[in-house]
Chains A and B, each alone.
Chain A
Amino acid sequence: MNHLLEMRNLAINLYRGKKQPQVKLCEGINLDIKVRQNFGIVGESGCGKSITCSSIMGLLSYPLSVDPSTSIRFASNDGEVDLTRLSASQMRRIRGKEISMIFQEPMTALDPMYTIESQINEALSFHTSLNRQEMHVAALAMLEKVKIPRPDQILSDYPHHLSGGMLQRVMIAIALINNPRLLIADEPTTALDVTIQAQILDLMNELRESYNTSVIMITHDLGVIAETCEMVAVFYAGQIVEQAEINELFHATAHPYTKGLLKSVTSLGKVSEPLYSIAGAVPTAGAFSKGCRFHDRCIACTEKCRTSMPELTEVAPGHLCRCWLNQEANNA
C-alpha cells in the first residue's frame, strides 16, 4: 500500500425505522492519505465531513452506520488492516494509539468530573503499561510540548478551570501523546477566538512535523486550509466535488461550488464590495435530485445538470472535479 490510509467507496447509511428505507448521507467517497501528508476536507456544515472522519475512527453510532461495501485500509503498526472489518477490541487498540482525534468544542470535549491529569493518563493507560509516576512525567512533558504554562498546576485542574484555547491544547496533548500515525482534527479552531485560532494552528503544524503525523483537517474555513494543508477535498452534500493540491485548487479552481466558496471568503482591502454568498442551502439527504446535487444553486446550471449526475473525473493531473462543464471541456 502506497498510502497511510485508503478509503474506497465510503457510504454512510441513516436508519429511519423499519418502515422507511435507509438514506445514504455520504456515498462514493474515496480518499488517499499519504504518510506525513496534511489533508484538508472543506465544506459547509451538514455536508458529511464529520461523519466521514467518525467512520474512520469507527465512532459512528445508531442510527448511522458504514455501508458494508466500504473499505478503509490503514497501514497500522502491525501491517495493513481494513478498519471497517476490525472487531471492537482490535479497533480500540487503534483508536487513540494510531489514529487520534480532536474535536470542535474544547469546552465540552473533556469530562468535567476528572482532572486534566487523569484524562491524559487514560490515553496512556489504554495503550501502554507505564506506572503512575511514569505517566505523570509523560503527561508533564506533553503539556510542555503543547506550550501550556505552569503544566504542573494545570495537571491537577479540572476542565472548568481552563479556557477554550488551553483545553484545545490539552486535547492536542491527549491526541498526540501516543505518537499516532494519523490525527483527525474536526474543526479544531472553529470555537476559538481568532487570536487563539492562529496559535493553535501554528502549534499543530509544528507538532505534526516533529511527530511525523499525517493530519486530516476538517474545516469550513478556507483560510485554515490555506495555512495548513497540502491536499484538499471539497465536500458537497455527501460527495467529493473537487480534489486537488492546494495551489492548484486556489489557482485553477474547477468546480462552481469551490469558486463560490473562494469568492465568499472576505479579504481585507476590498471593503467596498458587498459580501458574496452562494444562494440557497445544501439539500437534505434523502431529497437529492438525480442530477448534480449542486445544480439548483449553481450559476452555470444546464439541462444536463438537472437530469444526470456527473462523475468525479480528472481535469488535470491530480485534480479531480465532479462537474459537467469540465468534462465537456475535456472531451471536446
Chain B
Amino acid sequence: MRNYVIRRILQIIPVLLGVSILIFAVMKLIPGDVISGALGVEGSPELRQALTVKYGLDKPYHVQYINWILGVLHGDFGDSLRTSEPIFPEMMRRFSVTAELTILGALISWIIAIPLGILAATHRNKGIDRFVRVFALMGVSIPSFALSILVILFLALVFSYFSPLGYVSFFENPVKNLQIMILPSFVLGITIAGSIMRMTRSSMLEVLQQDFIKTVRAKGASERITIFKHALRNAFIPIITLIGMQIGSLLGGAVIIEQIFSLPGLGQMTLTGINQRDYPVVQGCVLFIAFIYILVNLITDLLYAYIDPRISYN
C-alpha cells in the first residue's frame, strides 16, 4: 500500500510540471507587454523599466520560469500588479471560501443524488425511477448561473427573500456564514447531482444483475443487507471515479457562483485579475486551482484502491 501511494504521488509530478509550463507559456503569449498593460498610458519609461526589472521580465524565459517556480515552491507567488500586495496570503484567504463552497456543494449533491439513484435502481421503471431520470436530465442540462438566477428570482418574487450580502467567515460567525453559504452551495450541488444520480442508478442496476447478489439473497439476506452492504459497496467504484472527476466541475462552477453571489473566493479573485489585467494574480490562481484539482484526483485514486480489494498495490 505504501509503495502504491508513493508511486501515485510520483506520477503527478510530470503533470504538475506540465501544467505550470503551460500556464507560464500561455502567459507569455499575451499580446503587448504585461507592464504597459498594467500601467496603462500613465507610466513613465523609467517606472516601466523599474517594474520590468522588479518582476524579472528582462531575464530570458527559462530563467523567469525557474524563478517563478522556485518562488511558488516557497509559497511566494509574487505580488499583485494592482495592489503590490503578496498574492499567496490573499489566495489562501480566498481559498477557504472556495473550499467551503465546493465541500458544501459536494455534500449536498451526494445527499440528494446517491439515495435517489439507489431508489431509482431498486424501483426500476416505477414512478420514482421516472422522476429521478427526468430530474437527472434537467440537472445536467441547467447551467449553474441560470439555476442561481432562477433561485434568486424565485425567492425574491415569491418570498421577498434576499440572500444576505457581505461575506462572514465560518470562524467569525458560523450561523451567519452558513446562512450566506447555503444557497450558493445548494445551487452548486444541484448542478452536479444529476450526473451522480445517473451514475448511481446505472451502476446499481448493473451490480444488482450480477450473480453474487443472487448468492447473497440465497443465503437469506434481507433486502437492506443485499442493497446496502453488497450492491452499493460494489456500485461505489464508478461513483467515486465520477465524484473525483466532478471536483473539476465543482471548482469551475464555483468560479461562476462566487461571481453571482459576491463571495470573495478564488474564482472571483481570478476573474478580477483577468478584468484588471493583473497577470501574476491570474497566473497564480490558475496554477493553484489546477493543483487542488490534481490533488483531489490523486486522493480519489487512492480511495478507490482502498475500497476495491482487487486493485493490487504492486
A positions within 8 Å CB-CB of B: 57, 59, 62, 88-89, 92-97, 100-101, 103, 105, 108-114, 122-123, 126-127, 158, 160, 171, 174
B215 within 8 A of A: yes
Complex-state Cα separation, A88 to B211, whole angstroms: 20
- Residue pairs across A and B with CB atoms within 8 Å: the count is 73
Distance in angstroms from B222 CB to nearest chain A CB is 6
Asked, given contacts A59-B214, A109-B212, A158-B310, whether A174 binds B219 with beta carbons under 8 Å apart, the answer is: yes
Question: Which residues does chain A contribute within 8 Å of B234, judged by CB atoms?
Answer: 111-113
Q: B215 is contacted by which of A103, A126, A160 (Cβ under 8 Å)?
A: A103
Question: Which residues does chain A contribute within 8 Å of B25, judged by CB atoms?
Answer: none
Is A103's CB under 8 angstroms from B221's CB? Answer: no
Complex-state Cα separation, A274 to B31, whole angstroms: 82
Is A126's CB under 8 angstroms from B221's CB? Answer: yes
B216 within 8 A of A: yes
Is B218's CB under 8 angstroms from A111's CB? Answer: no
A-B contact pairs, 27 of them (CB 8 A): A57-B218, A59-B214, A59-B217, A59-B218, A92-B222, A95-B218, A96-B218, A96-B220, A96-B221, A97-B220, A101-B215, A101-B218, A103-B211, A103-B214, A103-B215, A110-B212, A110-B215, A112-B308, A113-B234, A113-B307, A113-B309, A122-B216, A126-B219, A126-B220, A126-B221, A171-B215, A174-B215
Complex-state Cα separation, A57 to B234, whole angstroms: 24
Question: Which residues does chain B contribute within 8 Å of A111, judged by CB atoms?
Answer: 212, 215-216, 230, 233-234
Is B211's CB under 8 angstroms from A108's CB? Answer: yes
B210 within 8 A of A: yes
Question: Which residues does chain B contribute within 8 Å of A105, judged by CB atoms?
Answer: 211
Is B219's CB under 8 angstroms from A122's CB? Answer: yes
Complex-state Cα separation, A122 to B221, whole angstroms: 8
Complex-state Cα separation, A123 to B221, whole angstroms: 8
Which residue on chain B has the smallest CB distance to residue A175?
A: B218
Complex-state Cα separation, A290 to B221, whole angstroms: 42
Q: A123 is contacted by which of B210, B211, B220 (Cβ under 8 Å)?
A: B220
Is A158's CB under 8 angstroms from B211's CB? Answer: no
Which residue on chain A has the smallest CB distance to residue B309?
A: A158
Question: Which residues does chain B contribute within 8 Å of A160, judged by CB atoms?
Answer: 309-310
8 Å CB contacts to A: which residues of B27-81? none
Question: Which residues does chain B contribute within 8 Å of A57, judged by CB atoms?
Answer: 218
Question: Which residues does chain A contribute within 8 Å of B225, judged by CB atoms?
Answer: 122
Complex-state Cα separation, A108 to B210, whole angstroms: 8
Complex-state Cα separation, A126 to B225, whole angstroms: 10
Question: Which residues does chain A contribute within 8 Å of B124, judged by CB atoms?
Answer: 62
Question: Which residues does chain B contribute within 8 Å of A89, judged by CB atoms?
Answer: 222
Question: Which residues does chain A contribute within 8 Å of B309, judged by CB atoms?
Answer: 112-113, 158, 160
Is A95's CB under 8 angstroms from B219's CB? Answer: yes
Question: Which residues does chain B contribute within 8 Å of A100, judged by CB atoms?
Answer: 218-219
Complex-state Cα separation, A112 to B230, whole angstroms: 9
Q: Which of B211, B218, B222, B230 has the largest count of A CB atoms less than 10 A from its CB? A: B218
Complex-state Cα separation, A49 to B259, whole angstroms: 64
Question: Which residues does chain A contribute within 8 Å of B307, judged by CB atoms?
Answer: 113
Closest 7 CB pairs of A and B: A96-B220, A96-B219, A95-B220, A108-B211, A126-B220, A101-B218, A111-B212
Q: A109 is contacted by which of B211, B222, B308 (Cβ under 8 Å)?
A: B211
Question: Which residues does chain B contribute within 8 Å of A62, judged by CB atoms?
Answer: 124
Distance in angstroms from A228 CB to nearest chain B CB is 21
Question: Which residues does chain A contribute within 8 Å of B211, judged by CB atoms?
Answer: 103, 105, 108-109
